[in-house]
Amino acid sequence: MNRNLKGMAVGLVMAAGLVATAMSPSKVVYADENESGHIHEMEIIGAAESSCQIAGHAAYYHCADCGKYYKDEAGTTETTPEDENLPLKEHSYEWVVVKEATAKEEGLEQQVCTECQETGESRPIEKLAHAHRMESIPACESTCITHGNHVFYHCVECNQFFKDEAETIPTTLEGEKLPYGDHNYAWVVIKEPTQTEAGLETQMCAYCRHRGDTRRIPSLAPVQNNNDKKTTDNKSVKKNTAKNTDPTKDNPHASAKTGDNTNIFVWLVTMAACAGVTVMETVKKRNMN
Ligand SMILES: [Zn+2]
Ligand SMILES: [Zn+2]
Ligand SMILES: [Zn+2]
Ligand SMILES: [Zn+2]
């Protein structure tokens, strides 16, 4: 008898629950089997998708009465909002140009999230394609203090170097360097000969002052006239030396190239005429500072 009554009571409560469900779908009343007398007032917490900043979750339930959270509407599996969190979504990156490429310089683009503006990877943008504007760097002999070079070419638009004017063989300043050359010696009198004493002269490099061989100048005896040119005086030797260092001498490329006076490369190369690699390197260093 009692059992039947109890069963009827439970049936009534369940029926009430079903009625409540039918009347207001978001607020369902269920009996909590673990806590006698308490009937949950379930509110559904609707599912939300994760964004790249805020975690989403599947739908779960909250009882406004006891404050507990449940995975299911019937209140059988308890949970917490933290446990319901889904992983964050990946950023929706889009490549954004930070710096436009030019013919001379690479550009830069960076990943930016369209939702939260967070930045990701960055990568260079290739230099713009262009018709190379070539100037030739004149051939130049090495000295003991400067590197010479064969003729090579330079694009004033993109600063690339080429071995050939047809721009098929790329090169670098370093690659075009010829080894240092020999000293440029001239004989310099150290001690003038006299009637009674021999003099002395030495080889001296016009560029670096390095000394080479030393030899004796015969004394100014009566029999001194036999085609001996060594008695040149100090001053005239120095004059010859200066002539030898004239950089514009014998350079077929010196008067070269384009009439573009604003171009610092052409200007400097023309000024120094025979110092291709050396001058280009100087300009490069200056530009980098
Ligand atoms: Zn409750
Ligand atoms: Zn984002
Ligand atoms: Zn170019
Ligand atoms: Zn030298």
What pLDDT is recorded for position 202? 96
**For residues 79 and 60, is the Cβ–Cβ distance under 8 A?**
yes
Instruction: Give the span between the Cα atoms of 228 and 224, in whole angstroms.
Output: 7
CA of 178 to the centre of ligand 3 (A): 24
Crossing angle of the two packed helices 264-272 and 276-288, in degrees rounded to 10: 140
Residues near 217 by Cβ (< 8 Å), separated by ≥ 6?
189, 191, 192, 193, 198, 199, 200, 201, 230, 231
User: Minimal CA–CA distance to 59: which of 32, 40, 34, 86?
Assistant: 86
Among all bound ligands, the one having the nearest atom to the CA of 118 is 2
Distances (CA, A) of 141 to 148, 173, 191, 248: 4, 15, 33, 12
Token pair for residue 190?
């150290």
Sign for the pseudo-dihedral over CA of 176, 181, 186, 190: positive
What pLDDT is recorded for position 277? 73
What pLDDT is recorded for position 223? 57
pLDDT tens track for 53-80 = 999 999 999 999 999 999 999 999 999 9
DSSP type of residue 84? H
CA of 152 to the centre of ligand 3 (A): 14
pTM of the shown model: 0.39
Among all bound ligands, the one having the nearest atom to the CA of 167 is 3
What pLDDT is recorded for position 289? 58
What pLDDT is recorded for position 143? 87
CA of 88 to the centre of ligand 2 (A): 9
Among all bound ligands, the one having the nearest atom to the CA of 131 is 3
CA of 49 to the centre of ligand 1 (A): 26
Low-confidence spans in the chain with pLDDT less than 70? 1-36, 222-275, 283-284, 286-289
What pLDDT is recorded for position 62? 97
| Residues in the 5 Å CB sphere of ion ligand 1 | 40, 63, 65-66
pLDDT tens track for 40-51 = 999 999 999 999
